[in-house]
Amino acid sequence: MVQPKPPTNPINLTQKASLIDQQWSPRVVAEMNDYQFKVVRIEGEFIWHSHPETDEAFLVLEGTLRIDLPDGPVYVAPGELYVVPRGIEHRTAAEGEAKLMMIEPRGILNTGHEGGDRTAVNDQWI
């Protein structure tokens, strides 16, 4: 028997993203089953990587998200959703700062299987 969890307050996504003290540092704001909602501030280019085990959803809150894909870039505006399919190499980027919400299973690293010094500490809440 699953024990019902107590309801929490609504989460203002842009406000939560604004509280993060550095770019490229995703912070968890909520969970749904074994998935996590994370917010992040980004600027410049990330590294190419993929997540062989999962799709990854991006919702843009502020600014413009560029997602570089094998066939070229996709530009995602505020209020727009984009799902990067599992196994697809991609690189997130933004000219000027962009604030995003990401959705992915608990335990997924921002750099996928690439690792390296851009790998953020995982499972940090804000």
Calpha distance 43→41 (Å, rounded): 7
**Angle at Cα 61 formed by Cα 22 and Cα 126, nearest 5°?**
45
125: contact with its own copies by CB under 8 A: no
116: contact with its own copies by CB under 8 A: no
* Residue type at 124 in one-letter notation: Q
* Nearby residues of 113 by Cβ (< 8 Å), 6 or more positions away: 49, 50, 51, 52
**Which residues from 27-66 bind its own copies, rule CB under 8 A?**
29-33, 35, 37, 52, 54-57, 59, 61
Q: How far is the CB of 22 from its own copies (least distance, A)?
A: 22
Select from 38, 36, 34, 90 the least CA-distant residue to 66.
90
Which CB atom, from 9 or from 22, has the smaller least distance to its own copies? 9
- Residue from 105, 114, 122, 126 in contact with its own copies (CB under 8 A): 105
Binding-site ranges for its own copies (CB under 8 A): 2, 4-14, 29-33, 35, 37, 52, 54-57, 59, 61, 69, 71, 74-77, 79-88, 101, 103, 105
